[in-house]
Structure 1
Amino acid sequence: MLDPLSEVISLLRPGTVFSKGISGAGRWGVRYSDFGHPSFCAVLEGSCRLEVDGHEPLTLEAGDFVSMSATPGFTMSGFEPVTPTQMDPHVAASSTEELRHGRQSGPPDVRLLGGYFVFGSPDAALLVSLLPQLVHVRGEERLATVVRLVNEESREQRAGRDLVLARLVEVLLIEALRSTTGAAASPGLARGLADARLGAAIRQMHRNPAHPWTVAQLAKEAALSRSAFFERFSRAVGVAPMEYLLAWRMAIAKDLLRRNEHALAEVAERVGYSSASTFSTAFSRHVGQPPARYARSH
């Protein structure tokens, strides 16, 4: 049986990765507006500053890895004061040529590999919301090895390239997420799983999504009082327990409906609804269209 993090990554179906080299020298700074797609950046050599909207500024050093689940606006720069150049992330993302910021000649002060993922799941936005908004990892050799492989594979046109990249991206995402699990980590599923008590409750939700869970029952699985569990879960995962359970049930339902292998009543039963009609009402409220129409459109 898959663990919860692997289940979410598998449903996302990461299949494509775009990456390119980025470097900066002298006085430089760039400002990107919201991008929306999950992105990543690995520092190959040197250092720079990163300021992501809604988060504390970071100093990135060689060997660091950063990923953002639904990339908000951010500023990247050297360490000298500068008015950043405005960049359109969609235009920048479409180019595969190496970007050089600041002084164009001479050795760079920093070299990075930047890129973004494209997920195959039409439900990507919901699933991405279960992941941390910002991941910053330092000194993880396994992660650095996977980044190097992604870089090499994305630049070669070898047989089986797309399949290899799809698998590497899955590994890259999981390695990044499980490498950042402390209390300072951004809220999300990985941080919740890293908490032994919360992890026990999350695994039960994934193991048996059809069970009529209550907050009190989940708190018992976590060996916590109801109020302590609710507060601890909400702080670590970023959503309330029943909100997380609903999101997970609907992700499963969407996947089953897209496959078109099960009757509506069976889908309803698998995700914890006593009848097709109560499931249809909940699904329509959550997704914005009835399950039958959703299945036809996908």
Structure 2
Amino acid sequence: MSDPLSEIVRLLRPQAVFANLISGKGNWAVRYSEFGKPSFCIMLEGGCRLAVDGHEPTTLSAGDFVLLPTTPGFTLSSFLPSPPVHLDPTKVPKGLELRYGEQTGQPDMRSLGGAFLFDCVDPGLLVSLLPGVVHVQGSLRLSQLVQMVGEETADEKPGNEFMRSRLADMLLVEAMRSTTSGSAPPGLLRGLGDERLAAALKQMHAHIGRRWSVAQLAKIAALSRSSFFERFTRTVGVAPMEYLLAWRMEIAKEFLRRGELSVSEIAEHVGYGSTSAFSAAFTRHVGQPPSHYARAA
């Protein structure tokens, strides 16, 4: 059985850049301008307040993990108000510890702030899957990963860069798992949180080249055709065949980018009986023929 979430992470190919260790003491506040790219905060010790533009302020505690898929402007602060220091995230020195508030003494808060870089065809894929703020609390598994990240950051042992990148992969998966309930926007993650739709989605991913019909997928989900169509469209955000087409095109783009298969082989793999039919569908969906896309990629 195919695992759609693993496939998504594989296509995204996350490369985490752990930018800075961050600590704070006393009363402090920092205001970061919009970054526009995926970033994260891992709380190692203590706590603080996070106010992301367009969202309700929230409290961060040790072991929490926050992911901002598009990182709008936000304010990070101690629990008592203080005039914020304004910072441009693109100009913050990399690799240095950032100290907020009182510059000496044992900090009240320690965290790790960084950004995810994705070596992928469609970086918007992550944004389409997740809510604007992913805040994971009370996860023992995530707390263990956070602890390991802190250890790898504190101890510059051989191989720590590789370890941090692998831990980032796992943190991303845990964050995505946490949103398979109602907190996710319409999309794959919310669909995977629906037991009946998940069964159909897994089969679609496992057999992407099969000539699926709505009736066949409805049978797998143990729903009537009309109920399945309505439930899938409402939960995933698009109709079943539209979702299947979009996923086939993502797989096709990955194959074209790697350059290991011919266009006719890719067409067969993603369920098209002829190269011309695949080329026409790809051109409509992507905006350029497969051969042009392959050259550009």
Q: CA RMSD in A?
A: 2.9
1:272 deviation in Å? 2.6
Asked if the contact 1:49/1:60 (under 8 Å) is kept, the reply is yes
For residue 36 of structure 1, what is the aligned residue in structure 2? 36
Which stretch shifts more, 139-148 or 214-223? 214-223
Letter in 1 for 2:50: L
2:45 and 2:185 mapped to 1: Cα distance? 25
Runs of at least 5 residues in structure 2 that lack an aligned partner in the other structure: none
For residue 98 of structure 2, what is the aligned residue in structure 1? 99
2:266 and 2:245 mapped to 1: Cα distance? 14
For residue 61 of structure 1, what is the aligned residue in structure 2? 61
Deviation string, structure 1 residues 93-116 (Cα, Å, up to 9, x no partner): x52212222343444443222112
Alignment of 1:1-298 (within 5 A): 2-82=2-82, 84-92=84-92, 95-126=94-125, 128-154=127-153, 158-185=157-184, 187-226=186-225, 228-230=227-229, 232-234=231-233, 236-298=235-297
Letter in 2 for 1:122: V
Asked if the contact 1:132/1:189 (under 8 Å) is kept, the reply is no
2:185 and 2:26 mapped to 1: Cα distance? 31
2:102 and 2:187 mapped to 1: Cα distance? 39
Asked if the contact 1:52/1:72 (under 8 Å) is kept, the reply is yes
Helix, strand or coil: the match of 1:294? helix
Deviation string, structure 1 residues 128-149 (Cα, Å, up to 9, x no partner): 5334543221122221222233
Identity across matched positions, percent: 60
1:51 and 1:186 mapped to 2: Cα distance? 20
Helix, strand or coil: the match of 1:122? coil
TM-score between the two structures when normalised by the length of structure 2: 0.84
1:126 and 1:37 mapped to 2: Cα distance? 12
* CA distance 1:215–1:29, shift in 2 (3 Å): farther
Helix, strand or coil: the match of 1:72? coil
1:256 deviation in Å? 1.0
* CA distance 1:103–1:160, shift in 2 (3 Å): closer
* CA distance 1:187–1:35, shift in 2 (3 Å): farther
Helix, strand or coil: the match of 1:252? helix
Aligned residues: 297
* CA distance 1:215–1:19, shift in 2 (3 Å): farther
Asked if the contact 1:127/1:251 (under 8 Å) is kept, the reply is no
Structure 1 stretches of at least 4 aligned residues deviating more than 6 Å after TM superposition: none
* CA distance 1:162–1:24, shift in 2 (3 Å): closer
Asked if the contact 1:23/1:109 (under 8 Å) is kept, the reply is yes
Asked if the contact 1:126/1:247 (under 8 Å) is kept, the reply is no
TM-score between the two structures when normalised by the length of structure 1: 0.84
Helix, strand or coil: the match of 2:197? helix
* CA distance 1:80–1:14, shift in 2 (3 Å): same
Helix, strand or coil: the match of 2:21? strand
Helix, strand or coil: the match of 2:96? coil
Runs of at least 5 residues in structure 1 that lack an aligned partner in the other structure: none
Helix, strand or coil: the match of 2:142? helix
2:32 and 2:233 mapped to 1: Cα distance? 30
Asked if the contact 2:131/2:183 (under 8 Å) is kept, the reply is no
Letter in 1 for 2:292: R
Helix, strand or coil: the match of 2:129? coil
Letter in 1 for 2:260: E
Asked if the contact 2:2/2:206 (under 8 Å) is kept, the reply is no
* CA distance 1:3–1:136, shift in 2 (3 Å): same
2:226 and 2:59 mapped to 1: Cα distance? 37
1:34 and 1:240 mapped to 2: Cα distance? 34
